[in-house]
Each structure stands twice: as structure tokens, then as C-alpha cells.
Amino acid sequence: MPTAPASTPDTQALEAMRRQLAAWSIRMCARAGSGHPSTCLSASHLLTGLFFGGFLNYDVARPHWPDRDRFVLSKGHGAPILYAALAELGAFPTADLMTLRELGSPLEGHPNARRLPWVEASTGSLGQGLSIGLGMALAARLQGRDFRSWVLMGDGELDEGQVWEAAMAAAKYRTANLTAIVDRNGYQQTGPGDQVLPLEPLADKWAACGWAVLTIDGHDWPAVLEALTQARSAGRDRPLAIIARTVKGFGVQRIVDDPGNKFHGVPLLGDAAEAAVREVLQG
Amino acid sequence: MKIGSSIGLPLGEPTRNAFGEALADLGATEPRLVVVDGDVGNSTRTEVFGERFPERFFNVGIAESNMVGVAAGLAASGHIAVTASFAAFLTCNAYDQIRMAVGFPHTNVKLVGSHCGISIGEDGPSQMGIEDLALMTSVPGMTVLCPADGASARVLTRLMVEREGPVYMRTGRPQAPVVYAAAPELAIGRAERRREGGDVTLIACGLMVAAALEAAAMLAAEGIEARVLDMHTIKPLDVAAIVAAARETRGIVTAEEHLLDGGLGSAVARVVAREAPCRMGFVGLDNTFAMSGKPDDLMDHFGLNAAGIAAEVRRVLGA
Ligand SMILES: Cc1ncc(C[n+]2csc(CCOP(=O)(O)OP(=O)(O)O)c2C)c(N)n1
Ligand SMILES: [Mg+2]
């Protein structure tokens, strides 16, 4: 069973894998003709670090192993990069990735736990994942197991009141085995978050709810690995929120440069997709 | 969408677009009109209103429960408050707020749920509103609308805004086959007879009206003449039209892009059972969350098409 490595993860290998997952996300959405590639790209370091840096205690061969760490993709529209990570870990053939969103494929537009055994929670209605992650963290304690619960959320997703209900409940129960990772890319569906619903001072909000908070650059490998290491470290008596400052569409300049967030939920198609794949692999 | 294509119905605007444009037009003549969005105005098309009347447009972020409460507060203060999100998020996430702040006090809030049914396609079950009619008809005093095409959606948007009290209207994502000429004369609570026929009655709403017209053409080739009713108002139901159908034809088949539980079919069946028992059939989603796929593929897979309706008619008539 794979467990968290004692040694520091190899950032070069991680970066290579991250680029693969980014490329898959773009290709999968291009093939499907729909999906949210820019959402996947901003989370690419966070997800790659967690899954391939040895931080997630997980074995795709045994998706129902009771001691596995739980990962909840609360921002369910980031499904492609989760599927890509699972395929690269050997859960199913990478060729299956190109069935994203097809009739009958278990790789649905948003993660469906009933169709895909590696999906811990069905998501796609934003704001619900942290509560589920908290329930899992409480179950670990109740069952005397030492697994951890990780929840990846969008920053726009934090608009939902349920997130803060979960945050306060987690503080009450001092679930140190629960980590919330916020993909703080600054954009949501209809525009920049600071115009749609301002969240700042965001770190203060989590702290006020009783959480430990780390604010990091979510595209800087040392920072990401250090934060994930801290998440696993003993000696904290409360849940941890990692606020990762990221760039929506990271690695694809035409998405990054677009000030209007026009690419939210819009795939790159044809030549544009191929160019973007080259860019994330080589750029 | 290929629904309606076999009888030559051209594809028109999506009902969500028609709603968005009609709403913006109403903003010019109705100063009390305000709109509350939950970070999806580009999906529901309330953004058209927001661009023209930014001071009367509030985007409260991805927070449907709050959104409905804010709309209720505006309505309680003299405004006509329209609030829209995906049908699933609006009616499921904010059900308690709809019940307590809209239904119970009977406030002047107009709820609009886009992305109804499975014809949204690839995004999959989490984004599909397939229980919204059940939830919204369960609110006492709520009017519930489901337009068939763009032209009727425009008219129903106006009627919704003019009507006093809570209204829910569902709209769809894909281009809708054109069923009506421009600006049809519709009335809330009055079914529209879109085809005459004495053998069986098809009662449909939304995209399934076009599918029912298509089914009627298929059945006609077999010698079965179907009456087709567009039941664009699910609540209050046109009881007289249902009773007439039950008495004048040999059976009723309902068709909806919704779960069979608590939707159009259930509502019609209640009227039929009480007022004029007749044979009935039901086309809709049967105890399923559906799945991802192309809109046409999904409609075919779940039998939400002309063939599915025609098969149900044959079963009902024993033909
Ligand atoms: C409850 C709910 N309301 C609305 C939506 C529609 N929606 C999908 S993605 C999105 C924006 C999400 O923004 P964010 O959480 O910041 O994610 P990211 O920027 O990573 O894409 C919205 C509003 C939804 N999926 N769920
Ligand atoms: Mg964001």
C-alpha cells in the first residue's frame, strides 16, 4: 500500500505529471466539445501534488479500502483533471479518458460516485463538499482510523453558505484530519470574484471560524509541497485551510490573458486545443 | 435538437434566451421589476436585463438560498422580483427559502429555473432539473409554467411578471423547435390545443410538445388521430381541457421532461381519477437521475421522443 513518502517528492517528476494532467484535461474537453478546462488548469499543481507527491494515502487498486484517505472534489466541474489523475495512477486505461461526457461513460460531466468507484462524493452542485469531507473526518475518528480527508474547492464556491456552516462545525469538532484546499483563481462564472462577491479578507474568515490557515502560491512547487506536508503533520489541533493563489487557465496564455473569464466552462477546440496542449506540455 | 424535425418544425431560440430578452424588454416599461442572480446570469440569460438596467440587477454570488431570500425582501418592499438559476440549484438548494419566504407569505417573487430536464446534455445529472415541477407544484399558491418554445416563453414571461404572487417558470438550454407563430395569445391556466384528434389525447409541456406533435404524425399514419394539448401551465391545471379529453377521446398520454413522480402526468392523473376516469399513459423519467450524453442521445435513451410517446399510446389503446 502506498503511503506518504519520508523523502521529499521529486518536483521535476511532479511537474512532468502535472503537465500531462493539464494536457489530458484540455484534450478531454476538446473531444467532448464541452467542459471546464480552465478550472482544471488552476488546480493542476494542487491536485498533482496531492495525488502524486505521496500526500494522499491511496491505492487505486482498492478504492474501498477503509483506511484510504478521502479526496472530495467539491468543485465538481473540475472532473476532467481528477479523471486524468486516476487514469495515470492506473485506475482505468488512459484511453478511456477520451470518453468524457459520452452516453454510457462513467466519466460524466461532473463526478458521479455511483458510476466510478474512485469518486468519493458526487459533486457538481457547488458548496457541498466540505460538509461531506467533515463527515468523513469524523468517521475516521469514530472508527479509530487515521485517514485524512481532503476537500478541493473553488473560490467562487465559497459564496455558498453551507461552506461556512461546515467550517464552523469542523472547528467545533477540531478535525485536524480535515484539510480544505481553496483554488483561489479569482474568477467564478460571471466574472472576477471581487466583483461578483468579494471574499477578502479570506484568510481571516477561515481563522475566525477556528481554522489554521496557510496562504500560498498555488503554482509554486516548494510552496505547494510544504503546505501539503504541513497538512499531514501531527501536532495541529484544528482543521487546516490552504488558500492557494492560482491563475485560472494556468499555462494557456490566451485563457490567462482574457480579462472577462470568457473561457469559464468553454473548451478549446480543434487547432486551439492542440496549440494549448503543446503549450502546457512544453511552455 | 432533432425533436420536431421529422414534421419540419424549424429550430428556434432556446426558451432561456426568449425569457432573458422578454425580461429585459419588460424592464423598460415596468420600473418595479428587479432581478436577483446567483452568478449564472449568462446561463439563465438574466444578464440581458443586467446589462440594460444595472441598478436593478443584483448578483449575490453562488448562493441560491440567499438569492431567494433577497428576492423575497425586495418583493415584500414593493418590487416585482425575478430570480433565476439552474432549475436544480434554485428549486432544490433554496426549497426552504421558497417555501418560507415566497410561498407561505405569497410574495411577488418570480422564480425561473433554467437548464430543465435532460436536454442540457453533457454536464450530466448534477446540473439537470428533473424534479423542479414536483417541488414547485408542492408549494401552496405557486403558479407553475413550462413553455414549449421561444415565442410562448416570451409571452409567458410577460404573463408571469404581470401576475400577482409567486410564479415558477422552467426554461431549457437547447434551441427549441418552433411550435407557435410569434406572440401567441396564451393565458395562464389555459391549455393550448395544437392538434385535433378523436382517438387519444397527448398532454405535454416544454420540448415534449414538439415530440407529441411528431408522435401524432406517426400515429396518424397508423390510423390513430391524436389531440395534442400544450399544458404550459402545470399549476393551476386546465381541468376543463383534461375532462374534455377524457370524455371525447379514448385515453390520455402525458409527456414531460421530468421525473414521473410529481410532475405533469401525476397532476393530470389526479384530475382524471377524480373527474373523468379514463385510460392513461405516462412518458417521463422513471426513477432515474439520468446521465451525461448528447441531448438527442439522452432523449432517445430515456424514450423522451416521438417514438416513446407513440409506443405509450399503443399500449394505452391496446393497439
Ligand atoms: C450550487 C451551484 N450553483 C451554480 C453552479 C453553476 N456554476 C458552475 S461553475 C460556477 C463557478 C464556479 O466558480 P469557482 O468556484 O471559483 O470555480 P473555478 O473558478 O475553479 O472554475 C458556477 C456558478 C453550480 N455548479 N452549483
Ligand atoms: Mg474560481
The answer to the question of residue B95 being in a domain is yes
Q: Are residues B59 and B149 in the same domain?
A: yes
CATH fold of the domain at A12-282: Rossmann fold (3.40.50)
What is the model's pLDDT at position A123?
Answer: 98
The residues facing B253 across adjacent strands are B202, B281
Dihedral, CA atoms, A193, A197, A203, A207, nearest 10 degrees? -150
**CATH value at residue B280:** 3.40.50.920
Write the pLDDT tens digit of every residue in B81-106. 999 999 999 999 999 999 999 999 99
The verdict on a CB contact (< 8 Å) between A34 and B122 is yes
CB-defined contacts A:B, below 8 A: 96
Closest residue by Cα to residue B255 from B194, B297, B188: B194
In degrees and rounded to multiples of 5, residue B317 shows phi and psi of -85, -5
Would you call B37 an interface residue with chain A, using a CB distance cutoff of 8 Å? Answer: yes
B41 to chain A: closest CA residue: A190
In degrees to the nearest 10, what's the CA dihedral of B21, B23, B28, B33? -160
**High-pLDDT (> 90) share of chain B, %:** 99
Longest pairwise C-alpha distance within chain B: 60
Question: Which residues of chain B lie closer than 8 angstroms to A190, CB-CB?
Answer: 37, 39-42, 47, 59
Read off the pTM: 0.97
Contact A101, A108 (CB under 8 A): yes
pLDDT value of residue A1? 40
Please identify which residue in the block is written with the cell numbers 438527442: B296
Q: Does B59 touch chain A (CB under 8 A)?
A: yes
Average pLDDT value over all residues in chain A: 96
Instruction: For residues B254 and B121, state if they share a domain.
Output: no
Confirm or reject: Cβ of A255 under 6 Å from ligand 1.
no
What's residue A283's pLDDT?
A: 85
Residue A260 has a CB neighbour count (10 Å cut-off) of 10
Say yes or no for a CB contact (<8 Å) between A156 and B39. Answer: yes
B122 touching A, CB under 8 A?
Answer: yes
Q: For chain B, what is the domain count?
A: 2
Q: Domain containing B37: what range?
A: 7-170
Our CA-based measurement puts residue A149 at a distance from the nearest CA of chain B, in whole angstroms, of 23
**B297 with A122: Cβ contact below 8 A:** no
**Nearest Cα residue in chain B from A197:** B61
Interface confidence, given as ipTM, is 0.96
CA-angle at B115, arms to B109 and B116, nearest 5°: 80
pLDDT of residue A4: 52
Q: Per the domain annotation, does B2 fall within a domain? A: no
Within this chain, do residues B136 and B192 fall inside the same structural domain, yes or no? no
A189 lines ligand 1 (CB under 6 A): yes
C-alpha distance from B230 to closest chain A C-alpha (Å): 30
* Nearest ligand to the C-alpha atom of residue B88: 1
Q: Examine residue B208 and state whether it is found in any structural domain, yes or no.
A: yes
Inter-chain residue contact B126 with A34, CB threshold 8 Å: no
Residue closest to B145 by CA, chosen among B79, B200, B206:
B206
Nearest CA in chain B to A126: B62
| Chain A touched by B40 (CB under 8 Å) | yes
Cα(A183) to ligand 2 centroid in Å equals 7
Could you tell me if B138 lies within 8 Å of chain A, comparing CB atoms?
A: no
Nearest chain A CA: its distance from B13 CA (Å): 20
Short-list A70, A61, A89, CA closest to A1:
A61
Tell me the pLDDT of chain B averaged across its residues.
98
Within this chain, do residues B158 and B191 fall inside the same structural domain, yes or no?
no
CA-nearest residue, atom 4 of ligand 1: B62
Q: Identify the active-site residue in B47, B64, B256, B257.
A: B64
Residues B159 and B19 in one domain: yes
Domain end residue (candidates: B142, B170, B198): B170
- Say if residue B162 is in the same domain as residue B214: no
Asked if B149 and B219 sit in the same domain, the reply is no
> Across the interface, which of A101, A123, A197 has its CB nearest the CB of B126?
A123
Chain B residues near residue A122 by CB distance under 8 angstroms: 126
Average pLDDT over every residue of B37-45: 98
Q: Which of B137, B170, B203 is the last residue of a domain?
A: B170
Contact A105 B292 (CB under 8 A): yes
B257-299 pLDDT per residue, tens: 999 999 999 999 999 999 999 999 999 999 999 999 999 999 9
Kindly report the nearest CA distance between residue A102 and chain B, in angstroms: 5
Q: What confidence tens digit (pLDDT) does each residue in A188-222 have?
A: 999 999 999 999 999 999 999 999 999 999 999 99
**Chain A nearest-CA residue for B121:** A101
Same domain, B215 and B121: no
CA A193 – CA B16 distance, rounded (Å) = 25
* Mean pLDDT computed over B124-129: 98
Please confirm, yes or no, whether B21 is among the known catalytic residues: no
Assigned domain for B175 exists? no
State whether B264 and B210 are in the same domain: yes
Residue whose CA is at the smallest distance from ligand 1 atom 6 = B40
CATH of the domain at B21: 3.40.50.970
Task: Establish if B292 touches chain A: CB-CB under 8 angstroms.
Answer: yes
Task: Examine the fold and report which residue of B143, B170, B197 is the final residue of a domain before the chain moves on.
Answer: B170
Confidence (pLDDT) at A5: 52
Rounded CA-CA distance A274/A112 in Å is 28
Query: Which residues are within 5 Å of ligand 2 (an ion), measured at CB?
Result: A 154-156, 185, 187
Shared domain for B15 and B43, answered yes or no, is yes
Which residues are within 8 A (CB) of B111 and not within 5 positions of it... i.e. 6 or more apart? B68, B83, B84, B90, B91, B98, B102, B136, B166, B167, B168, B169
Q: pLDDT by residue (tens digit) across B201-247?
A: 999 999 999 999 999 999 999 999 999 999 999 999 999 999 999 99
Ranges of chain A with pLDDT below 50:
1-3
B303 interfacial to chain A (CB closer than 8 Å): no
User: What is the A184 CA–ligand 1 centroid distance (Å)?
Assistant: 13
Is B311 in the same domain as B163? Answer: no
Residue B178 in domain: no
* Each residue's pLDDT tens digit, A222-264: 999 999 999 999 999 999 999 999 999 999 999 999 888 889 9
B219 and B164: one domain? Answer: no
